[in-house]
Amino acid sequence: RLAAVSLGLLSVVLLISIILLLINFNHLTAARDQLQTSYTNLTAEKDQLQTKKAFVEGWRYFSSSVYYISTEKKSWSGSREDCRRKGADLVIINSREEQEFVDSLSVCKDAAVFIGLTDQDTEGIWKWVDGSEPTTLYWMSGQPNNGGWTKQDCVVTGPQLGKRWNDKPCQNLQYWICEKKLKDI
Q: Which residues contact Ca ion (rule: CB under 5 A)? A: 119, 143, 145-146, 152-153, 166-167
Closest Cα partner for 78 from 179, 184, 185, 174? Answer: 174
Q: Considering the complex, what minimum distance in angstroms separates the CB of residue 179 from Ca ion?
A: 22
Tell me whether residue 157 or residue 166 sits nearer to Ca ion (CB atom).
166
Among residues 140, 142, 145, the alpha carbon closest in space to that of 162 is found at 140
Biggest CA–CA distance in the chain, Å, is 113
Q: Is 131 left (phi over 0), alpha (psi -120 to 50) or beta?
A: left
Tell me if 91 sits within 8 A of 179, measured CB to CB.
yes
DSSP 135: S
Query: In terms of CB distance, is 89 or 167 closer to Ca ion?
Result: 167
Calpha distance 183→50 (Å, rounded): 10
Q: Provide, rounded to whole angstroms, the least separation between the CB of residue 83 and Ca ion.
A: 21
Alpha carbon distance 109, 176 (integer Å): 10
Q: How far is the CB of 98 from Ca ion (least distance, A)?
A: 22
Q: Select 131 or 183, whichever has its Cβ closest to Ca ion.
A: 131
User: Which of 143/174 has CB closer to Ca ion?
Assistant: 143
Q: Residue 134 CB, nearest distance to Ca ion (Å)?
A: 14
Closest CA to 99 of 66, 136, 46: 136
Nearer to Ca ion, 40 or 150 (CB): 150
Measured CA to CA, the distance from residue 153 to residue 147 in angstroms comes to 10
CB of 176 to Ca ion, least distance (A): 17
